Structure 1
Amino acid sequence: MLFQSGAAAVLAAAGLDALIGDPLWCPHPVVLMGKLISRLRLWVERLSGDRPEALRLGGGLITAVLVLGAGSCGWLVEQLARASPVGSALLVLGLASALAARSLHDSVAAILSALPDQPQGDLTAARERLSWIVGRDVQQLREPEILRAAAESASENAVDGLFAPLFWMIIGVVLQTLSPQLPGPLALAWAFKASSTLDSMLGYRRGRLRWLGTAGARLDDLLTWLPCRLVMITLPLVSQPWRELPALVRAAERDGAPDPSPNAGRSEAIYAHCAGVQLGGRNRYGERWIDKPVLAADLPQADRNAVNRILVLTSRLESLWLLLFLLVALLMAGQ
């Protein structure tokens, strides 16, 4: 029964995320995590100054406090869900908050709708909306560069914001079949979101963050490693003839491996090859220019249709993952 109830909660959360996304009227756990990270960072920097080892230790403490705290909160909600309908509703809401399928789709679609070929569109609005989801400097980007950035964000964030938390939810459901006292889907999903938030806020190789963000960035890389590879293996199933799967995975590994991140380059590379679009290249971050590996170099550059194809592929792949999860749940229920 625990497997079936946990699976039902995950499936309901995915449906709720697809239906309403992240409503502005509801406090989001990631926002609370971000505020806590900011306060802990100020405290650690005040005590550590510019000493690398002290900053590394402080970063490790921030990571432990946030990840264990988020996981513990999720575990408490799971225990409450076993005792009351209110707890079950909170469990579904909490799980939905860890998924970003609707918000990612809407954010990317908002960029496309602001481009000049749309009614009342302009580059200024498109750049502003792009700045909400990317870390690069967007002020001087022209339309082709905006489209490439949108395509890259849609592909990378699909793994970080959707498939990785969904993977850890499924692992949590399995764990709680072994013992109800083990961390379940919400505990693992919120722990992952904590590590992801740490990486997005502190995982930069500049200034004090070079040491302060090390623990969070490495933990995020570790927790995303397997979900990223599963996306690489399964995305061709919803985009190309199945016989092309080995070639697409090899091409994505070849193109994505040179990226400094063990996951981001591969996430973008498999989407590039499956969606038929060239990604990667030179990006500006503040005063620095960074040359990222060119992915699928022989394919056309990003346009509106390519960005939409990436969004469609993400929706199809989520449906495939959920369908397989549902089939396993039904098989378990029949035993």
Structure 2
Amino acid sequence: MTILETATPHIDLGRVRQAVEDTLECFLAGKAEGEDGARIAAPLRVLRDFLGGGGKRVRPLYCCLGWFAVAGRPPTTEVLRAAAGLELFHTFALIHDDVIDGSDSRHARPTAHRAFEQDGPGPRARWFGESAAILLGDLCEVWSAELLGGLSGPSPASARAVLDRMRGELVIGQFLDLRAFGTDFGNVEDALAVIHYKTTKYTVERPLQIGAAMAGASSSVLGVCAAYARPMGEAFQMCDDLEDVLPDPARGDATGNDLREGKHTVVLALALRDAGAAESARLRELVGDPDLDADGLAEAQALIAATGAPRTVRRMVVERRRQALDVLAAAPFGPAARQALARLTDLALPGVDRWEEAEG
């Protein structure tokens, strides 16, 4: 598989993604064929279905492009294993997150605990499903560590230090997110703090730095990675949060899961800050109600839209995309790496370039 097109300065993100997928599938096939294969058949089935549910594979791509930006050549086997390990680490986090949130589906498929629940013993099916999902998440973390255990290159200690920090930061972000549920939704700064740990660090900065560190990046280059990641991570999460409050005909109505859970988001914080007293009080009654029906959800979405908060967040996303691209334009990377990272920016923020044109 040719990942780098040498005729023109271009690295094919689709082929990089497929190389990561192939690496991950080869690893899982080895587990299925190993001495414990028969005992883990059910967890592997649920895991493969979960992995096949979609996703942009943003974190593995950032890892591979971090390597490419410094090394100037396609990702090696070791880099692809590290990238696959990051995807399994992300899977571990998602499976546990779904249990915490009590989510029924992800990407139009049953969540892991709901899939396990279907095979559970009668009245204890729910307990079995949640317990099995927690164990599957743990297994993904163990396997992630196995794939990431071979971090190599000119500065493996630097890459390992970045990885260790990422693991801790994710848990901090998850705890901040958990603690914010059902509390004061009106603090934008606190919502951005959750994004900093749960998205900026874990989704963009650390994967990019891990790949760069494996290629021997200097501390100044790792700093450039962080400078790009800050606005990019915030934009990525705010885009995701908007999907919950803005129905989109292209994908169907917004699910409203964040509103039912009372998730602390920037768009909700802005709406509560800018709403009138009566509207704010009503929105607080609706948000955080796990039994919120379709009419209640539509009312909450209408109240949020009336404050102008979604428009404000769209402008914030546009501004942060531009900031991230400006960092790339001045980054000490080759043209092919800068172009690839710019393409990944727009892959992670689908349609935002058109928002910018509309704003202009």
TM over 0.5: no
**Per the shorter chain, which TM-score range?**
0.3 to 0.5
Structure 2 length-normalised TM: 0.33
Structure 1 length-normalised TM: 0.34
